[in-house]
Chain A
Amino acid sequence: MKNFQSSFLSAILHNKFDQGFLAQIEPVGRLTAEESVRVYQNDYYARMMEALGQNYEATWVLLGDESFLKIGTKYIQQHNSSLRNLSSYGDLFDDFLNEEGMEVEVVQMARFEKAFWDFFHRKPSLMLNVTNIEEAVFKCDYFLSHSEIRLFELWKQRENPPESLDEYLDNEYLCIFKKGSKVEVLKVSEIQYQILLQMKVIGSLSGVIAEIERQALQPEENDWKVALEICLWTN
């Protein structure tokens, strides 16, 4: 049993079909022994690609079928699954795309999608009730994204993608977090983004106020309000 299972894995993952292994197999229908194992091999790649495609749907759209299938296959070949469910298969795919020299917006979209599904599977959040807000320490469990393309708009259009990306070229600052049971993708201004970034580093409002003053940034009251509400939801 042990030898057979090792040989089977070797055939599926490394395309090694030794004759001793194939001689143990009684194929079905009109298939040969090798073809019958390839049924499983094809199914393996199709299943992993489907999982990757579900987790990186808009990344697939940006890359196009041919490129996604090519780079997806390469990823699958290099990244076996040790998971028992496929919902988080591809957790290194964003970095892989970066290492493979993919365009920056493709990598950014992959990071956006990875973060979205990460928050999707998290438990619902509760809004923190704080008495002394300036001294409170915040966990800031949110994901920040800055891109020169409107990722969120593109992601929403993933089932009917635009022919050209030109109209999507614009600076975009996003914050992804769990608000109650929903995943919130909030467009924020550049200064709100800076506040949220500093909150992640420093953790306390008083510390961030000092840092923002040091940087001579001039947020308005509403900027603090937006950032603070996010912090209260993400503790």
Chain B
Amino acid sequence: MFGIGLRHQHFTHLLQTLEVSPQSIKVDWFEGITENFFDTEGRPILVLERIRRDFPVGLHGVSLSIASEEEVDFEYLAKVKKLYDRIDPFITSDHFCWTGKKTTNLHNLLPVSYTNETLNILIPKIQSVQDYLKRPLSLENLSAYFSFKNAEYTEWDFLRILAQKAGCKLLLDLNNVYVNSVNQNFDPYIYVNAIPDELISEIHLAGYSDMKTHLFDTHSCPVWPNVWKLYKSRMKSGLKVPVLVEWDEEIPEYSIVEAEAIKARDMLGVD
């Protein structure tokens, strides 16, 4: 299944297309940002419900903050669960990161150190979230602009061990892997091949910006050739999971974003 991130800039186009010629929508599914829909009873949730009538929908969170040193925020999770119950998403996810503290959310995806201490803190937290939501948690690897000197694992080993021990899944963002591989000087192919198929729930693709001093994960342009190459290579194993293209800044018209998802499908020779 090949989809795109659902953004409000495309709401009007999608609503009109759904009424006039729904068959002209060429993607298989849409993914919404969880937090954009759980505090509204207005147009955003009405549009999501309309799309859900004709398409599978995934929900992707940005504020679980699973790697925060604070306890799991069950007040937040209750809103997430209520939205899941309302939309019945076929896939759900968030990020392997922290975003701040309960009273101070930086609204950014922040890295943690890959140590045994972190593993011991995260495993029970992930399990408690899964127990509460009654579904497996899927966590996305992120782009990070620093790592930690006290790291005891590589990012890929850490994520694999974490997923195996906590019983969660990984949303493998290939753009993030590539950005980190350039910024942190490692081989992205070693990374993606170290994550076994059975732990991967979904693939994300997006575009980055070259800041000259580092690559920056902006989601502001098409997927870069090196990321497509990494995608093609990783999917060779026969991995069959939903694939999604994200575009979050300088968002172009719908057809351009959709074309990226079609490209992801065509690259694998899938009808």
What residues make up the interface of A, taking CB atoms closer than 8 Å to B?
Answer: 1-2, 4-5, 8-9, 12-13, 23-31, 33, 35-37, 39-40, 43-44, 47-48, 51, 80-88, 119-124, 181
Q: How many residues of B contact A (CB 8 A)?
A: 48
| 6 closest A-B pairs by CB | A29-B214, A123-B41, A28-B183, A85-B35, A36-B146, A84-B63
Query: What A residues does B10 contact at CB under 8 A?
Result: none
Is B172 interfacial (CB 8 A cutoff)?
no
CA distance A48 to B104 in the complex (A): 12
How many Å lie between the Cα of A86 and that of B62 in the bound state? 11
Interface of B is mostly: mixed
Cβ of B158 under 8 Å from chain A: no
A contact residues around B118 at 8 Å (CB): 1
Whether A31 contacts B63 in the complex (CB less than 8 A), given A121-B41, A123-B41, comes out as: no
- Which residue in A4, A43, A85, A86 is a CB contact (below 8 Å) of B113? A4
In the complex, A74→B197 CA distance in Å?
Answer: 48
A1 / chain B contacts, CB cutoff of 8 Å: 69, 112-113, 117-118, 121
In the complex, which residue of chain A has the Cβ closest to the Cβ of B105? A81
B7 nearest CB across to chain A (Å): 13
A28 and B147 within 8 A (CB): yes
A27 in contact with B107 (CB, 8 Å)? no
Q: How many A-B residue pairs have CB under 8 A?
A: 121
Q: Is there contact, CB below 8 Å, between A86 and B149?
A: no
Contact A5–B98 (Cβ < 8 Å)? yes
Q: Enumerate 13 A-B pairs (CB-CB under 8 Å) in ascending A order.
A: A2-B69, A25-B146, A26-B149, A28-B183, A36-B145, A43-B108, A81-B105, A84-B38, A84-B63, A85-B36, A121-B41, A121-B44, A122-B41
Q: How far is the CA of A27 from the CA of B98 in the complex (A)?
A: 18
Whether A120 lies near B43 (C-beta < 8 A) is yes
**Which residues of B are found within 8 Å of A43, using beta-carbon distances?**
108
A191 CB to closest chain B CB (Å) equals 31
Task: Decide: A82 and B213 in contact? CB cutoff 8 A.
Answer: no
In angstroms, Cα B111 to Cα A39, docked, is: 13
Residue B198 CB within 8 A of the other chain: no
Find chain B residues with CB under 8 A from A29 CB. 182-183, 211, 213-215
In the complex, the answer to whether B146 meets A27 with C-beta atoms within 8 Å is: yes
Which residues does chain A contribute within 8 Å of B36, judged by CB atoms?
Answer: 85, 87
Most buried by A among B113, B148, B214: B214
Rounded to whole angstroms, the CA-CA distance of A1 and B103 in the bound complex is 18
Q: Which of A13, A25, A26, A123 contacts B42 (CB 8 A)?
A: A123
- B113 pairs with A13, CB closer than 8 A: no
Task: Check: B141 CB closer than 8 A to any chain A CB.
Answer: no
Whether, in the assembled complex, B228 has its beta carbon less than 8 Å from a beta carbon of chain A, the answer is no
- Docked complex: B105-161 residues within 8 A CB-CB of A: 105-108, 110, 112-113, 117-118, 121, 144-151
Q: Which residues of B contact A124 (CB under 8 A)?
A: 41, 46
Q: Decide if B89 is an interface residue (CB 8 Å cutoff).
A: no
Whether A37 contacts B103 by the Cβ 8 Å rule is no
How many angstroms from the CA of A37 to the CA of B111 in the assembled complex? 11
Please give, as numbers and ranges, the residues of chain B lying within 8 Å of A2 by CB-CB distance.
Answer: 69
Contact present for B63 and A26 (CB under 8 Å): no
